[in-house]
Structure formats: C-alpha cells, structure tokens
Amino acid sequence: MNARERYGIPHDSVITIAGTVGVGKSTMTNALADALNFRTSFEKVETNPYLDKFYQDFERWSFHLQIYFLAERFKEQKKIFEYGGGFIQDRSIYEDTGIFARMHYEKGTMSETDYVTYRNLFDAMVMTPYFPHPDLLIYLEGSFDDILTRIQERGRPMEQETPVEYWEEMFKRYENWIDNFNSCPVLRLNIADYDVLNDKSSIEPVLEKVGHFIQQSRKWRSSHLLT
C-alpha cells in the first residue's frame, strides 16, 4: 500500500502550501509530492520578469508584479482543474491579495486606484469554475529569526538586500492573516517540528494529519453539499 492509500488521502486532492517568504514552502511541496506521487505547481522565480525590478522600486513595479502573479497563478489553477486534482501547490492564491497587494497598498507602495483595479480583477477571476478551493491549506510557521536565516542562506540577492523591516512587516501580517483565514480548511505546522531535508521520515506525521484533515473536510463538504 502506498503512502497516499495508507493515510486515506484521495487521489484528486489539492493541497496548497502557505507561509511567509523563506519558511520552507517549496521544500514541503516537493516532499509531499514525492510521498504522495502528486504533481506540483510552483511559483517560477527565475523567469519572473518583474521580481528583481520590484525589489529595487516597489512603487514603480508593485501593480505590474501583482498582475503578473495573478495571471501565472490563474494558469496554474486552470491546469490543476484540467488534471482533476492530485496537486501540491507552492503558495496559495489567497496570499497575493491577503498579504502582498494589501501590504503594498497599506504601506503606500501601491496606489489606491491600482489596488482597486487589482482587487476587482482578482475577485472576477477567482469566482469562476476554474477556482475550486483547495482541500487543505497547510500553513507553515516558525520563529522570525529562523525564517530570516533561511532567506539569507537561500541566497537570492534581491531578498538578501531587502531591509529586514520588510520581512518583519510581512511576518506580522501573516500571523494576523492566518488567524482570520476561513476560505478552506487549514493545517498549521511549525517548522521546528519536522525536518524533511535531513530526516525523510518526518514527513510521515505530516501525511497522517493531512489524511485526517482532508477526510474530515470532505465529509463536512458532502454533508453541506459544497464543492
């Protein structure tokens, strides 16, 4: 029996991984996809034509970058829908509005007009049949110091050169955002409690929790006739 069957995780599940920059989403995405034999949906940082420019001048590029991310995530969403699920997604679409666009608007690095335009587009795109909510959002959390160390060690120059206050602001917003998030079921994992890089077996308790959460939420959805 494979891990997916062992933990009762449906083959068409869609699991999205959320959390602040550097917390370990991509690493967890790979570990879960390997264990479950699922496809992955990644944010492609290297081919993003705006990201470097954005870090050099938030005001000039924040709207362009959000539109770019929205288009990319919508294409990924469509792909997941067309395959019929069985995906682990690196970062949820909810974080683009709930964290990034909102933060730049509230900190004055995105104009109100641009923010309203972006929100209208986001709402119109998300309210479509291509956007079934994920079965589960896994939220990765940890101490600010550990996350900052990971950003520095990963070594993307644009992130290393960004003032620490930016990461601090984002960290606080994430805590508040997840406490109020209710668009789909949430499993919170502390990065101090597993280490999928150095101890492959630490994915097992995660899989067990994922199976449990998805079974509960599917039961709840079918009894409330939700999709």
Ligand X SMILES: Nc1ncnc2c1ncn2[C@H]1C[C@H](O)[C@@H](COP(=O)(O)O)O1
Q: Tell which positions 100-159 bind ligand ADP, by CB under 6 A.
A: 150, 153-154
Q: Rounded to the nearest whole angstrom, what is the least distance from the CB of residue 195 to ligand X in the complex? A: 19
Angle, nearest 10°, between helix axes 164-179 and 144-154? 130
Backbone angles phi, psi at 136, to 5 degrees: -155, 140
Dig out the tokens for 114 from the structure.
Answer: 């641009």
The DSSP call for residue 3 is H
Whether 57 is catalytic: no
Contact flag: residue 44 with ligand ADP (CB under 6 A)? no
Q: Rounded to the nearest whole angstrom, what is the least distance from the CB of residue 99 to ligand ADP in the complex? A: 13
Q: Which is nearer to ligand X, 21 or 214 (CB)?
A: 21
Q: Is 159 annotated as a binding residue?
A: yes
CA neighbours closer than 13 Å in the CB half-sphere of residue 115: 17
Contact flag: residue 48 with ligand ADP (CB under 6 A)? no
Q: Which is nearer to ligand ADP, 45 or 226 (CB)?
A: 45
Q: Is 102 annotated as a binding residue?
A: no
Contact flag: residue 25 with ligand ADP (CB under 6 A)? yes
Q: Is 22 annotated as a binding residue?
A: yes
The one catalytic residue in 34, 52, 57, 90 is 90
* Closest alpha carbon to 100 in 35, 33, 177: 177
Q: Rounded to the nearest whole angstrom, what is the least distance from the CB of residue 104 to ligand ADP in the complex? A: 18
User: How many of the other CB atoms lie within 10 Å of CB of 209?
Assistant: 16
SS3 content of the chain, % helix, strand, coil (to 5): 60, 10, 30
By annotation, the residues acting in catalysis are 90
